């Protein structure tokens, strides 16, 4: 596969996976912030399943995907940066270091981690602020 094909696959997988996981992320954030709200504004969820039941009942099913666009955008950027650079680096380093595939894998992982951290930072910041 070309780098562009790897990147495209990573972006699609990140977007789809994040879409599926957004309701759980929303519930997690709601439960974490509930204690910081004034007493009269708290939702007082008893747990994950209570929140998963109450949010759609009180706000509608689509409310489980509030904040989904920034979450999905971040996931797509992370997946692109991590998976496509890892695969590309591993292929090239394995060819350059055929007698030391462990080092090639380690270096590819390092490169992918640095790329993912660097590229995802602006998206993390925007997601948190939104």
Reported confidence tier of residue 56, pLDDT bands at 50, 70, 90: very high
pLDDT class for 128, splitting at 50, 70, 90? confident
pLDDT tens column, 41-55 = 999 999 999 999 999
Q: In this structure, are residues 76 and 18 in contact, taking their beta carbons and an 8 Å threshold?
A: yes
Q: Each residue of 33-66: b (16+ CB within 10 Å) or e?
A: eeeeeeeeeeeebeeeeebbebbeeeeeeeebee
> For residue 55, what are the domain limits?
3-129
User: What does pTM read for this prediction?
Assistant: 0.79
Our count of domains for the chain comes to: 1
* Residue 66 DSSP label: T
Q: Could you identify the residue written with the tokens 């509608």?
A: 60
**Helix boundaries (H) for the chain:** 3-34, 48-59, 68-79, 85-96, 101-129
- Domain CATH number, residue 74: 1.50.40.10
* Alpha carbons within 13 A on the beta-carbon side of 50: 7
């Amino acid at each position: 596969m070309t780098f562009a094909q790897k990147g495209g696959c990573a972006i699609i997988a990140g977007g789809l996976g994040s879409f599926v996981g957004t309701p759980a992320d929303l519930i997690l954030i709601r439960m974490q912030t509930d204690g910081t709200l004034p007493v009269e504004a708290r939702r007082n969820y008893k747990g994950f399943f209570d929140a998963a039941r109450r949010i759609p009942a009180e706000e509608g099913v689509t409310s489980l995907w509030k904040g989904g666009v920034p979450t999905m955008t971040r996931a797509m950027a992370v997946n692109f940066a991590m998976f496509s650079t890892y695969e590309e680096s591993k292929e090239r380093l394995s060819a350059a270091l055929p007698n030391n595939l462990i080092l090639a894998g380690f270096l590819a992982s390092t490169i992918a981690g640095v790329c993912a951290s660097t590229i995802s930072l602006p998206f993390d910041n925007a997601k948190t602020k939104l």
